[in-house]
Amino acid sequence: MQSGDAVHEAIASRSGLIGLVHHEEADFVLDVLAVDGRPVSERTGLR
């Protein structure tokens, strides 16, 4: 079994996804990854 940190690292390094947001607390990690690093407003033509 892998730790949560190892899983986050493996996904980020092998998936081809771009990290948009990383938030870390003592017992919680949140990573937001996307295939396109541009803001949603740019991708959808709102900007």
**Assigned token pair, 42:** 């740019």
pTM of the model: 0.64
According to the model, what pLDDT value does residue 1 have? Answer: 65
The domain limits of the chain are 4-43
**Assigned token pair, 27:** 């017992």
**Per-residue model confidence as pLDDT tens digits over 1-47:** 678 888 888 888 877 888 888 999 998 889 888 888 888 888 888 87
